Chain A
C-alpha cells in the first residue's frame, strides 16, 4: 500500500476528489434515478461486447498472425489482404456495411426470413459483435505476426531437432512466447477496442454511450451525462489495464542475458 501511494498519485487523487465534489454539488443529477437502470443495462452491454469481441477477435488473430509469419503463400496472402483491408478502412464504415449492407440483403430471401435464425439476424447486436470482432482480429493479426516472428528461430530449430511434433512446438514453445511478448501491446489495444464500442450506437445497439446521448436528448442536460460516461469509460479502462498487468506479472520472469 505504501509503495503504491506515490506523491504524484496523491496529488491526482486530491484533484480528482475536488472535481467529484464540485460535480456533485454544482451540477444537475436529478435525472439519474430515472435513467440509472438504463445506464446499468448499457454498461453491461458495452462490457460484454468488449469482452466477447476481444476474445473472438484474438482467437481469429492467432491463426491470422501465424499464417502471415510462417504460412504457405495461399494462407499468408488472404490473411495479409484481410488485415490490410480491415486496418485500412474506418470501423464505422465496416459496421454500416455489415448492418445496412449485409443485413438489408437478408430479408430479400424469403427462406432466411422464415428461418429460425431470423429473430437473431434482424437484431442489431450480431452485426455489432461481428464488426468489432473482425476489426480486433485485423489489428491483432498484424500484432501477432510480429510476435511470432520475434521468437528466436534457434528455439524452434532446437525443438524440431529434438523431434518435437509441429503442433507441440506451436503449443509449448512458439505461442506462449509470442503471447507473452504481445501482452503489453494487447492491453493498450483492448483499451482502444473499448473506445471503439460507442460506434455501435449508430446501429441501434443501446450501450452506455447511446444511453448517455439519450439522456442528453431527452433532458437537454449536456455535461452531466457526458461526464458520467467519461467516468464509466475511465473505470473500464482502469480495470483492463489492471487485468493485463496481473497477467503480465503472473508468467515466469524472462531472464535476459546480461
Chain B
C-alpha cells in the first residue's frame, strides 16, 4: 500500500513536472529596438541584456519560454487577450498598469535622465525646462512624468511611438530635450550623432508613484503560479551570480537598483 502511494505520488509529481516543463510561456518583448536591452542583430535574431535575462530567468524558474515580439503600444492588450503570457519589455511597475495587469518582482531599476541639445541652457527640473519642446515615448512612465511635472511649463510635449524616433527628432533639432531611462539614452549618446548633438542635462527627481518601482515581468491578473515561477527565476539569477555575469557584458555597474 505504501509502495503504491509512493508510486502514485511519484507519478503525480512527474506529471506536474511534465506539465510545468511542457508549458510554453510566450514572453512578449517590444518589437521596436531598445538597445542595449533588446534589439535585432544583422541576422534578425533578438539580442541584448533583456533577451539574455529572459533566457536566464526562465531557466532558473523552470519555465520553457518563447520570445514573441509585439508592438509596444499593443503589448498590454496582447497580454490580456492571451496572445502572450508575460511581458519582459523594460516595462516599469506602475499603479496605473497594476489596475489592468499584475507584475513579478522587479528585475532592474535605473535612473531617469533628461538629455538635451548641447550648449542649450537647461536642467532636469521644471524651471530648467520652461519654454522647451520635450519629446518622450508614448505610454511610458516617462510620458506620465513629463505630463505631470514638465508639461505645464514646457512649450510643447511631443509623443513618439518609439524612442528611436524621439532621438532622431532631437538630432534634427525639432525638439530640445528628451526624457528616458538613463541606460537607453547612454546608448544613444554613444552613437556619433548622439555624441555630436546632445548631452545629459540631469537626473529627474524621483517620484515612485509615476516612475514606478522598477521593471518587472508583466503578467495577467490571477496567474499566481506563473508569477511565483518568475519570482523564483529572478531570485535565482540574482543569487547564483548569473545576473551580474550577464550585466557585466553590457554595463559598467549593476542596474538592479536599490
A residues whose Cβ falls under 8 Å from a Cβ of B: 100, 103-104, 106-107, 113, 122-124, 202, 204, 206, 213-214, 216-218, 220, 222
Contacts and interface: CB of A to CB of B under 8 A. Distances in A.
Interface in B28-78: 73, 76-77
A122 B159 contact: no
B159 A104 contact: no
A222 B161 contact: no
Contacts of B14: none
A220 B158 contact: no
List 8 A-B pairs, minimum CB-CB distance, nearest first.
Answer: A217-B139, A107-B173, A104-B172, A122-B174, A204-B158, A220-B100, A217-B73, A107-B172
Interface string B147-175: 00000000000111100010011011110
Given A104-B172, A217-B138, A202 B76 contact: no
B230 to A, nearest CB: 21
Given A202-B161, A204-B159, A218 B139 contact: yes
Interface of B: 73, 76-77, 80, 100, 138-139, 158-161, 165, 168-169, 171-174
A204 B168 CA distance: 12
A100 B174 contact: no
Contacts of B161: 202
Given A107-B173, A123-B174, A217-B138, 10 more contacts: A103-B172, A104-B168, A122-B174, A202-B161, A204-B158, A204-B159, A214-B138, A214-B159, A220-B76, A222-B77
A117 to B, nearest CB: 13
- Interface of B, secondary structure class, is mixed
A127 B82 CA distance: 39
B160 A204 contact: yes
Contacts of A202: 161
Contacts of A217: 73, 138-139
A222 B74 CA distance: 10
A123 B158 CA distance: 10
Contacts of B139: 217-218
A107 B173 CA distance: 6
A103 B175 CA distance: 13
A241 B67 CA distance: 47
Contacts of B138: 214, 217
Nearest to A123: B174
8 contacts: A122-B172, A123-B174, A124-B174, A204-B160, A204-B165, A204-B169, A213-B73, A222-B77
A217 B141 CA distance: 12
Contacts of A214: 138, 159
A256 B172 CA distance: 58
A216 B161 CA distance: 13
Contacts of B168: 100, 104
A206 B77 CA distance: 23
A113 B138 CA distance: 27
A222 B78 CA distance: 11
A224 B56 CA distance: 40
A112 to B, nearest CB: 10
Contacts of B160: 204
Nearest to B72: A217
Contacts of A204: 158-160, 165, 169
Contacts of B73: 213, 216-217
Contacts of B173: 107, 113, 122
Nearest to A100: B168
Contacts of B172: 100, 103-104, 106-107, 122
A206 B157 CA distance: 11
Contacts of B159: 204, 206, 214
B138 to A, nearest CB: 6
Nearest to B156: A123
Max chain A Cβ within 10 angstroms of own Cβ: one of B80, B158, B174 = B174
Contacts of A100: 168, 172
B42 to A, nearest CB: 22
Nearest to B73: A217
Contacts of A216: 73
Contacts of A113: 173
Max chain B Cβ within 10 angstroms of own Cβ: one of A100, A104, A113 = A104
A204 B161 CA distance: 9
Nearest to B158: A204
A123 B175 CA distance: 9
A225 to B, nearest CB: 13
A178 B171 CA distance: 47
Max chain B Cβ within 10 angstroms of own Cβ: one of A124, A218, A220 = A220
